[in-house]
Chain A
Amino acid sequence: MSKLLTISPSPHVHTSDSVNKIMYRVILALVPALVWSVFMFGVEAMRVTLLAVIACMAFEYLIQRFITKEEPKITDGSAALTGILLAFNVPASLPSWIIIIGALIAIGVGKLSFGGLGNNPFNPALVGRVFLLISFPVQMTSWPVNIHVQTDAVTTATPLAILKEGIKNGQPVSDLMHNLPSSLDLLYGNMSGSMGEISAALLLLGFAYMLWKKVITWHIPVFILGTIFVFQGGLHLINPDKFIEPLFHLLTGGAMLGAIYMATDMVTSPMTHKGQFIYALGIGIITVLIRNFGAYPEGISFAILILNGFTPLINAYVKPKRFGGKK
């Protein structure tokens, strides 16, 4: 025989799924929300997204090429995904230089300093986002008015900020309601906020796509949203004047974006469903706590980052159910 036969250990067949496919499918799932944000915020949204994606990929390439001296792996789609998620978490009017700093922190500090894809303990896009939020609070909370509204105002407040401000001034929730967008508006995305977080419906569409393609399982998003709903619902029942109804919290402030796309980041979430439940429970509780009692109107980014930190611990202690009952 002229040609040598290949010998390898079993199994000899492999699923057609790959890391790259997973990444590109998540990106695809984000496209509807991206289109919506371009529709709402115009070219600015396109600028922020493109810049974030390009900056993330460029930093990944440069760092891998010149600092860590490995084969650059920007084609695996993870840097592009980080870029999109970063862009989705900032206002559409954010100055370009801030975006570039955010990309550098996300990729350089959040991801590659830990050893690249798979080794980062925290979600890189959120590391970038939270860094920007703390470093540039003014720019990061100047929400542009959408281009379809005829007004002289340049910026506006997010529904959560309006709510928080109102409650702080002692107004009961029922009085604030007429200042807030209706639930339907919130669902399809007629509100101000970060670029990608505004349209809950389109984010859910992407979720459906990812479930269909088996990119992620339903556990984390459903558990997080469920926890927020139950916890906030409980608070609402206790004091409806101080705590708004839970649906409002599900539809605003990036709860959907965070629960579906950020918390489910495979690298930084627990492996077992049991672990994922604990993780999601933590995220939901901390989110509600920050939103109702904390300084920031919006809390899911912090909640996810905090629980990211617990993930290794959860992985170490929450074992899957062994066959045959041995613990």
Chain B
Amino acid sequence: MNMTIVYTIVSLSAIGTLSAVILYFVAQKFKVYEDPRIDDVEKALPGANCGGCGFAGCRAFAEACVNADELSGLFCPVGGNDTMTGVAEILGMEAVAQTPKVAVVRCGGSCDHRPKVNKFDGASSCAVTASLYSGETGCQFGCLSHGDCVAACDFDAIHMNPETGLPEVIDEKCVACGACVDACPKNLIELRKKAPKDRKVYVSCRNEDKGGVARKSCEVACIGCGKCAKVCPFDAITVANNLAYIDPDKCKLCRKCVVECPTNAIVEVNFPPRKPKTDLPPTPAAEKPAAPKAEKPAAEKKPAADEKNDNNETK
């Protein structure tokens, strides 16, 4: 009996030792040299493996950084400038600072503004819907409300608002990886430069139809009238294909265009309520007879939005 135990211990130890020796030599023989800095860089990265940098994952990005001659063109949108500075330190290179960006949904066609003209009943996916037809509303450019962007987000930074039927970005969580931009079949989402206090002014519309057609399907559609472009003191607004676009690099957030827009297609986010604001909404209403409808929900919504969270206001 005792001998059994002894045999067991001896034989197991012998096998163990033998395996260890074999493993040691095999490990020596097949050793692959890898730059230790890759591990260091990878540790400095957020480890989200989101692919926002354009590489397959954080390790692939780390390898690319180590092998690169300079860091321009390599940027981790999730970690931002801090992370890149860390990476640059490890590699002894210069970090190229980039302005932080944030995803912005450029459609304001909520259920109030953009009535449905049919009912979609199929796989709940924007991609499927878009491949089938123009969408549930009269606007063929607008949000399809199935939330492909929400599904694509790894950071829980974009959510559907069930009341408006539009996705909303949570600026603090958004890392500008661009997954939602790729997921949206209507190309509604844009990565725009982050401004102080998360302030934003942008055209919340992608409708390229002629003004009348656009307006018919959505009350807050850009009709391409060009008033905003005329009023902009910084030359930041261009109008093409019946659609205005505000260049985030040129825009100085003066908000003159917001006041000027007859359809409220240009929106401002996270600005303190301005004093003359209460007088403003009626001004375009007086100019355009068709506007009152549009003004009502907007006017109702604004105070409510101010109370809870300015983020929700317009997206």
Docked-complex contact B121 and A7, CB < 8 angstroms: yes
Q: Does residue A5 face the partner (Cβ distance < 8 Å to B)?
A: yes
Docked-complex contact A7 and B123, CB < 8 angstroms: no
Q: Does residue A67 face the partner (Cβ distance < 8 Å to B)?
A: no
**Chain B min CB distance to A89 (Å):** 39
Give A305 to B118 CA distance when docked, in angstroms. 49
Kindly supply a per-residue 1/0 record for chain B positions 90-121, scoring 1 wherever the CB is within 8 Å of any chain A CB and 0 otherwise. Answer: 00000000000000000000000000111111
Docked-complex contact A4 and B122, CB < 8 angstroms: no
Interface residues on B, range: 10 to 19
Docked-complex contact B121 and A6, CB < 8 angstroms: yes
Docked-complex contact B120 and A8, CB < 8 angstroms: yes
Docked-complex contact B119 and A9, CB < 8 angstroms: no
Q: Does residue B64 face the partner (Cβ distance < 8 Å to A)?
A: no
Residues of A within 8 A of B128 (CB): 9
Q: For residue B120, which residue of chain A has the nearest CB?
A: A7
Docked-complex contact A7 and B116, CB < 8 angstroms: no
**Chain B min CB distance to A301 (Å):** 35
Docked-complex contact B118 and A9, CB < 8 angstroms: no
Q: Does residue B132 face the partner (Cβ distance < 8 Å to A)?
A: yes
Residues of B within 8 A of A9 (CB): 122-123, 128, 132
Docked-complex contact B122 and A5, CB < 8 angstroms: no
Residues of A within 8 A of B123 (CB): 9
1-39 of chain A: CB within 8 A of chain B: 4-9
Kindly supply a per-residue 1/0 record for chain B positions 116-142, scoring 1 wherever the CB is within 8 Å of any chain A CB and 0 otherwise. Answer: 111111110000100011001000000
**Chain B min CB distance to A125 (Å):** 33
271-285 of chain B: CB within 8 A of chain A: none
Give A312 to B118 CA distance when docked, in angstroms. 41
**Chain A min CB distance to B121 (Å):** 4
Docked-complex contact A8 and B118, CB < 8 angstroms: no
Q: For residue B122, which residue of chain A has the nearest CB?
A: A8
Docked-complex contact A8 and B117, CB < 8 angstroms: no
Q: Which of A5, A7, A8, A9 has the most CB of B within 10 A?
A: A7
Docked-complex contact A8 and B121, CB < 8 angstroms: yes
**Chain B min CB distance to A2 (Å):** 12
Residues of A within 8 A of B136 (CB): 7
118-170 of chain B: CB within 8 A of chain A: 118-123, 128, 132-133, 136
Q: For residue B135, which residue of chain A has the nearest CB?
A: A7
Residues of B within 8 A of A4 (CB): 116-119
Give A4 to B121 CA distance when docked, in angstroms. 12
Docked-complex contact B118 and A6, CB < 8 angstroms: yes
**Chain B min CB distance to A66 (Å):** 24
**Chain B min CB distance to A281 (Å):** 37
Residues of A within 8 A of B118 (CB): 4-7
Residues of B within 8 A of A7 (CB): 118-122, 132-133, 136
Residues of B within 8 A of A8 (CB): 120-122
Give A8 to B120 CA distance when docked, in angstroms. 6
**Chain B min CB distance to A52 (Å):** 37
Docked-complex contact A5 and B119, CB < 8 angstroms: yes
Give A8 to B118 CA distance when docked, in angstroms. 10
**Chain B min CB distance to A72 (Å):** 22
**Chain A min CB distance to B227 (Å):** 34
**Chain B min CB distance to A13 (Å):** 14
**Chain B min CB distance to A279 (Å):** 31
Give A9 to B123 CA distance when docked, in angstroms. 9
Give A218 to B300 CA distance when docked, in angstroms. 65
Q: For residue B117, which residue of chain A has the nearest CB?
A: A4
Give A172 to B258 CA distance when docked, in angstroms. 99
311-327 of chain A: CB within 8 A of chain B: none
Residues of A within 8 A of B133 (CB): 7
**Chain A min CB distance to B21 (Å):** 36
Residues of B within 8 A of A6 (CB): 118-121
**Chain A min CB distance to B84 (Å):** 40
**Chain A min CB distance to B83 (Å):** 36
248-286 of chain B: CB within 8 A of chain A: none
Give A9 to B128 CA distance when docked, in angstroms. 9
Q: For residue B123, which residue of chain A has the nearest CB?
A: A9
Give A6 to B118 CA distance when docked, in angstroms. 6
Can you show 8 pairs from A to B with CB atoms below 8 A apart?
A4-B116, A4-B117, A6-B120, A6-B121, A7-B118, A8-B122, A9-B122, A9-B123
In the A-B complex, the 5 residue pairs with the closest CB atoms: A8-B122, A8-B121, A4-B119, A9-B122, A6-B119
A6-B119, A7-B118 given. 10 additional CB < 8 A pairs? A4-B116, A4-B119, A5-B119, A7-B121, A7-B133, A7-B136, A8-B120, A8-B122, A9-B123, A9-B132
